[in-house]
Structure 1
Amino acid sequence: MGHPLIDRLTHELGWSSLSTEDEVLAFISRPGAHALFVPGDVERNLETPDVAVIVPELVAAFQGRFDCAIVVDEMHGMVKNASGINKTPSLIFYRDGVCLGGIPKVRDWDDYIARITRFLDLPIAAE
């Protein structure tokens, strides 16, 4: 990924690094709730390392209600286009393949908690 704080997510925490469309679709389509961390350009975006530190804390705070994977550079455009969340860094939430919404940029802790709670509590319409 190119930044030690992002590399930590895959190397130390064992999060998946998604580098193909098939990998992204397989991850978000699994049963349950999932978040994609779209770091953006780490060199130009000074908020990306901050979000890389915050995301594991959010996963822990929600006690397994969602898991997270990192989207590699080549997949940023596809994920942003599919979700409509264009700013990075961002967290984009899915349940059973359905996009629930996203949180772009760095937010304060209470905003993260409120938004993620709202996403996780959204009902998914049966098809």
Structure 2
Amino acid sequence: MHDHSPHDLPHDAPPSGAPHPLIARLEAEFGYPRLASAHDVAEFLARPGQHCLFIPGDPRRNLETADAAVILPELRLAFQNAFDCAVIDDAIEAALRERHRALKTPGLLFFRGPDFLGAIEKVRDWSDYLGRVGHILSLEAA
């Protein structure tokens, strides 16, 4: 195994602007909607229940993005589908991160209805995810 520089991308890397294959999988295989506007986010969060917004970041610059895209469905399964998920589009990512003070990517932002509960930034150990998500989902909305 060796490191790749940004100039040494594999030939099958998605073209600039195309979604990373593992992020596209969240949409195609798992049915996570892509939210591309504040209206989309508000509409998604207006649904009853708990929600997780996945803020991928730039997968070309942040290798943890692909890991998080694999972890999220497994995390949802571990919590017996206690929350639904959506992928945040690049167009609104920065504003959403700033609004909820979750500045590092990849990020998982958790909500109960429209109420923000908390965030997990960067990739973590599995046990850390289980503890943090369990804690976040047990919180009262701020």
Which structure has more helix as a fraction of its residues?
Answer: 1
The corresponding residue for 2:99 is 82
| Residue 45, structure 1, aligned to residue 62, structure 2 | yes
Q: CA RMSD in A?
A: 1.1
> How big is the shift at 1:124?
3.1
User: Alignment identity in percent?
Assistant: 48
1:78-112 CA distance string (max 9 Å, x none): 21122110000000001121111100000000110
Question: CA–CA distance in 1 between the matches of 2:72 and 2:42?
Answer: 21
Length, aligned pairs only: 125
The corresponding residue for 1:58 is 75
- 8 A contact 1:29–1:95 mirrored in 2: no
- With structure 1 as the length reference, what TM-score do the two structures score? 0.94
Which gives a bigger RCO, structure 1 or 2 (Cα 8 Å, sep 6+)? 1
Q: Which runs of 5+ in 1 are unaligned?
A: none
Q: Which runs of 5+ in 2 are unaligned?
A: 1-17
The corresponding residue for 2:8 is none
> How big is the shift at 1:4?
0.4
Say which SS state the counterpart of residue 40 (structure 1) adopts. coil
